[in-house]
A and B are shown apart, each in its own frame.
Chain A
Amino acid sequence: MRIDADEDDVARGLAQLVLTLVELLRQLMERQAIRRVEAGDLDDEQVERLGRALIALEQQMDELKETFDFTDDDLNLDLGPLGRLL
């Protein structure tokens, strides 16, 4: 296989990988938060704090995606036989 990469491609690829992992963690946190809210594990103040943290995280991800010009589909990894990461 021939690798045909310039510096910009490498930097963009690295940003893509990092953002994919951050997005994975964000989604896991959101799912976990929803589960805990639905199970009634949290008091009102904890729910509010968690919700705000997730809003802030989502906004920051949106800004980073815009900065690097990534779509949601770009922030995924094809794990071959295991399917897609997200």
Chain B
Amino acid sequence: MVYAYAIGSAGLSPPARRGLGGVALDVVARQELAAVYSRHRTLRPAPTRANVLTHERVVEAVLEQGPALPFRFATRMESAERLAAVLEERHDELRDALERVRGRVELGVRVLPRARAEDPDLSERSSAEPAPDRGRRYLLARAALRRAADRAARELHGPLSQAAVASVLSERPPAPAILVAAYLVDRERVEPFRERFAELAASLTHCDAFLTGPLPPYNFVDSPADADRR
């Protein structure tokens, strides 16, 4: 089987680094597209920090050569021929997607509530006698978090999405985050975007916002592997 890392333009060279399991990388190309993969007898990669970093570094190495469409972590296919078939079957769509991210990177924003709303559920699990109004407090805390998320979306995400080529707002940010969003930004607009973020983040009074990236545009590509799951 093969493990797939990313799709780039034809002419892509295998990055000079090792893939998962220390295996050498290879490239399969079809028309205007190429994909980087490693070949394995069997592989069920656990989402450990080391494995995810290996995947990420290969994607970044592809990105150094030009635009890249990263595969989701743990994308495997039965053979390099199957991977080549995906490039052929979805050629035009993937080529257009590649053009869309050319010269662009992803920046991520994560917002945390400044004073965490009380969580009677967590705080009282160990107490012998739960507070008589824990149900009410739980609901009020949830309502407060929802309002904080709505406000962060208005005051931070709204203006930032105006400064980006495209944006994605997570419908269900993992706790304790109240907002998680990704922005596709032209490489040369990264600094102005950072400045805009810093300005908006400084004016937030109810939460703290953090910016990460630049990253490969994970949130702005449909995983090419989905073709294989249909």
**Which residues of A approach B to under 8 Å, CB–CB?**
1-2, 4, 27, 30, 33-34, 37-38, 44, 47-55, 58-59, 72-73, 76, 78, 83-84, 86
Chain B residues near A58 (CB, 8 Å)? 121
Could you tell me if B135 and A49 are in contact, using CB atoms closer than 8 angstroms?
yes
* CB-CB contacts below 8 Å: B103-125 with A: 120-121
Contacts of A47 in B (CB 8 A): 135-136, 139
Q: How many A-B residue pairs have CB under 8 A?
A: 57
Residues of A within 8 A of B121 (CB): 55, 58-59
Taking CB atoms, residues of chain B closer than 8 Å to A73 are 174
Q: Chain B's interface: helix, strand, loop or mixed, by majority?
A: helix
Chain A residues in 8 Å Cβ range of B135: 47-55
* Interface range on chain B (Cβ under 8 Å from partner): 20 to 34
Q: Residues of B at under 8 Å CB distance from A?
A: 78, 120-121, 132-140, 142-143, 146, 171-172, 174, 226, 228-230
Residues of chain A within 8 A (CB-CB) of B137 are 51
Cβ contact of A37, chosen from B132, B133, B140, B171, cutoff 8 A: B140
Contacts A2-B78, A48-B133, A59-B121 known; A54 to B139 CB distance under 8 Å? yes
B172 and A37: CB pair below 8 A?
A: no
Identify which of A27, A44, A48, A86 gathers the most chain B CB atoms within 10 Å of its CB.
A48
Contact of A1 among B171, B174, B228 (CB under 8 A): B228
Give 7 A-B pairs besides A34-B142, A54-B139, A55-B135 with Cβ atoms closer than 8 angstroms: A44-B136, A51-B138, A52-B134, A55-B134, A76-B172, A84-B171, A86-B172
